[in-house]
Amino acid sequence: MITFNKKIRIFSTIILSLYFLSCEEDAPTEVYTSDPGAPAPKITSVLPADSAYSSVTEIRITGENFSASTDTISGNKVYFDNLLGKIISATKTEFVVISPVIDGDSIKIKVVAPPAIPIAEYYPYRLLPSVEKMTQFNPLESVTVIEIDKEGNLYGFVTEGLAGKVYKVTPNGDRTQYGTAPFPSASDMKFGPGGYLYVQQSGNRNIHRINPGGGSAQVFVALPATSNRMKFYDFDNNQYLFAGGTRTGMFSINHLTGSNIKVGNYENHDIRSVRVYNGYVYVTATYNGTNTTFPAEGIWRSQILSNGTLSNAEVVFNWAATGFNAGSLASIPITFSISGDMFVGTDLKNSVMIVHNDGSFEFLYPSLIEPISLQIVWDNGKFLYQNRANQGGVFRIYTNQLGAPYYGRQ
């Protein structure tokens, strides 16, 4: 006779058998077999030698007895502390890997090279954050616009009540007040010849500037009354300031006298950024005119001619061709790398788009850079500064490439 306890044991045996059968069905079909006699991997060098930028820098590891396979099961595995890196290429003496998203000053690199059992180690190694928040601007501050000078200092225009203040952050992180403005919001800010800091009151025809060394912003030039929605500008290599806004047209302004003329054919454009590159003025804009060859949303450029005049606008980028749209941002910032790639700030999930010379595009560091990019500004090296304003603050992004010149800084 089967007792109650026996019934329980039989039932438990059936359940356990079914569990192990299901585990066998779900187990991976490919495994590597370890070999106690296989030569142990050895790391002889790592480049960059002591530090790299997390999740973006390619790290070259050389040594002995590696696997030549990049297969995720039978090939090398590289761990940064306990997180697995991504191997790009591999031979028996060298491989290239990108770290996972991790940063720290004493990371341990560990290499597993099947079928060997021993693990090769290299430490300490420093991984720097590739995207870093600038803590000098706190989450409660509304930083409407940023700029960088030729010494690498960062400037932020912060709304404080009915006025604005410009703060300066040095490369070592010290923050001090640099200037004041009699208005609460700025749409653009650029350094110009002689160290003047030009500050654009949002949607206003007056262009202000702060004297070299700091102080209060004073009106530099008042553009015609029809230009009362001026927003963005940039200097060319002859120190003309090109300024545009919402159906204001484009103005060329002499930085010495403030004299100005309307140039180009931008009267029907809602201009959302201006950038000078390689002899051209580039603008992002929406178009509301009758020219059927112009897209509703795009990027245009005009060649800079003599005496600060411009050729007529030509289309260089059509948002409709990308499958995306320009979005609802008041600014759609653009800047350029030294090689001519155009970087575009957006409100897309991956908020910095790179448009190459051939018209193709990709996103900078997908999943690492969050929206929105109200402004993107290159420093004098390889960092791109992103202003998310009240959506998250100011961030510094390592790009591994130099930006094109900002002529007003020089």
Per-residue pLDDT band for 14 (boundaries 50, 70, 90) equals very low
Distance CA 392, CA 127 (A): 24
* pLDDT band at 328; cut points 50, 70, 90: low
How many whole angstroms separate alpha carbon 258 and alpha carbon 256? Answer: 6
Distances 224 to 54, 208, 228 between C-alpha atoms, Å: 50, 15, 8
CATH classification of the domain holding 78: 2.60.40.10
Q: Is 405 within the bounds of a domain?
A: yes
Cα–Cα distance for residue pair 309/302, rounded to 1 Å: 9
Domain final position from 91, 107, 128? 128
Determine the residue type at 278: N
Do both 105 and 191 map to the same domain? no
The total number of residues shown for the chain amounts to: 410
Whether 1 maps to a domain, the answer reads no
Query: Given this model, what pLDDT does residue 370 score?
Result: 86
- What is the arithmetic mean of pLDDT over 114-123? 91
Lowest mean pLDDT among 114-118, 207-211, 381-385: 114-118
Residues 102 and 216 in one domain: no
Residues 322 and 287 in one domain: yes
pLDDT (tens digit, 9 = 90+) per residue, 231-243?
A: 999 999 999 999 9
Q: Are residues 113 and 241 in the same domain?
A: no
- Do 287 and 257 share a domain, yes or no? yes
Each residue's pLDDT tens digit, 348-400: 888 999 999 988 999 999 889 988 899 999 999 999 999 987 777 999 999 99
Q: How many CB atoms lie within 10 A of CB 285?
A: 27
Assess contact for 114 and 32: CB atoms under 8 A: yes
What total of structural domains would you count in the chain? 2
**pTM greater than 0.85:** yes
Q: Examine the domain organization and report whether 230 and 338 are in the same domain.
A: yes
Choice between 144 and 29, residue whose per-residue pLDDT is larger: 144
d(CA 244, CA 269): 9
pLDDT at 17 over 70: no
Do 180 and 318 share a structural domain? yes
SS3 74: coil
- pLDDT greater than 60 at residue 32: no
Domain boundary among 128, 144, 162: 128
Secondary structure class of 305 (helix, strand, coil): coil
| Residue 53 pLDDT exceeds 80 | yes
270 lies in the same domain as 345: yes
The pLDDT of residue 304 is above 60: yes
Contact 183, 204 (CB under 8 A): yes
**Rounded CA gap, 155 and 149, in Å?**
8
Tell me if 104 sits within 8 A of 115, measured CB to CB. Answer: no
Q: Please give the residue range of the domain that contains residue 84.
A: 42-128
Residues facing 301 on adjacent strands? 282, 314
- My answer on whether 81 and 140 are in the same domain is no
pLDDT tens for each residue of 123-173: 999 999 999 999 999 878 899 999 999 999 999 999 999 999 999 999 999
Give every CB contact of residue 42 below 8 A, 6+ residues apart in sequence: 63, 64, 65, 120
- Band (22; pLDDT cuts 50, 70, 90): very low
Residue 105 and residue 234 in one domain: no
- DSSP secondary structure, 214-267, as one string: -EE-EEEEE--GGGTTEEEEEE-TT-EEEEEEBS--EEEEETTT--EEEESS-T
Q: Is the domain of 120 the same as that of 139?
A: no
Identify the band that residue 27 occupies on the pLDDT scale cut at 50, 70 and 90.
Answer: very low
Mean of pLDDT values over 284-295: 94
Q: What pLDDT, on a 0 to 100 scale, did the predictor assign at position 348? A: 87
Of 108, 128, 148, which residue sits at a domain end? Answer: 128
pLDDT at 24: 39
What mean pLDDT do residues 245-268 have?
A: 95
Q: Supply 202's token pair.
A: 């949002």
Of all residues in the chain, what percent carry a pLDDT higher than 70? 89
Q: Are residues 67 and 141 in the same domain?
A: no
Name residue 293's amino acid: T
Q: What is the mean pLDDT of the chain?
A: 89
Residue indicated by tokens 């954050």: 129
